[in-house]
Amino acid sequence: MSPKPRKSVSERSGGRASLVVGLMTGTSVDGIEAALVSLKGAPPRLSWKLRLHKSFALDPALVARIRGAASGERWPAADFAALHAALGEVYAAAVLELLAEAEEPLQNVAAIGLHGQTIFHQGPRDPASQGAGGLTWQIGSAPVLAERTGIPVVHDFRSGDVAAGGEGAPLVPYVDYLLFRSEHVARGLLNLGGIANLTAMPANARPGEVIAFDTGPGNMLLDAIVQRSTAGKVSYDEDGLRAVGGVPDAALLAEALADPYFDLAPPRSTGRERFGEAFLAPWFEQAEARALSEADLLVTAAMLSASAVAQAIEDFVQPTIPLSDVYASGGGTRNPVLMAALEAALDPITLHVTDELGLPAEAKEAVAFAVLAYETLHHRPGNLPRVTGAARPLVLGSVTGEAGVRRGDT
Task: Provide the residue ranges of all domains of the chain, joining segments of one domain with +.
Answer: 16-170+363-400, 172-361
Same fold, 16-170+363-400 and 172-361: yes
Helix (H) or strand (E) segment spanning residue 154 = strand 153-155
3-state secondary structure of 317: helix
Which residue type sits at 173? P
From the list 177, 191, 210, 214, the residue with the least C-alpha distance to 326 is 191
Residue 407 corresponds to which amino acid? R
- Per-residue pLDDT tens, the chain, 410 aa: give them: 444 444 444 444 446 899 999 999 988 888 999 999 999 999 988 999 999 999 999 999 999 999 999 888 889 999 999 999 999 999 999 999 999 999 999 999 999 999 999 999 998 988 778 788 899 999 999 999 999 999 999 999 999 999 999 999 999 999 999 999 999 999 999 999 999 999 999 999 999 999 999 999 999 999 999 999 999 889 899 999 999 999 999 999 999 999 999 999 999 999 988 999 899 999 999 999 999 999 999 999 999 999 999 999 999 999 999 999 999 999 999 999 999 999 999 999 999 999 999 999 999 999 999 999 999 999 999 999 999 999 999 999 999 997 543 323 33
Alpha helices by DSSP H, listed for 134-182, are 142-149, 159-163, 172-180
Whether 4 contacts 62, CB under 8 Å: no
In whole angstroms, give the CA distance from residue 38 to residue 47: 8
Nearest partner of 275 among 196, 388, 157, judged by Cα = 196
From the list 199, 207, 203, 221, the residue with the least C-alpha distance to 313 is 199
Distance of CA 167 to the CA centre of its chain: 14
Query: Strands across the sheet with 325-329, in order?
Result: 211-217, 195-201, 187-192, 325-329, 350-353
CATH of domain 16-170+363-400: 3.30.420.40
Alpha-carbon dihedral of residues 316, 320, 321, 327, nearest 10 degrees? -10
Provide the CATH topology of domain 172-361. Nucleotidyltransferase; domain 5 (3.30.420)
Q: Beginning with the edge strand found earlier in the chain, give each strand of the sheet holding 398-400 in spatial order.
A: 47-56, 32-40, 18-24, 109-114, 153-155, 398-400
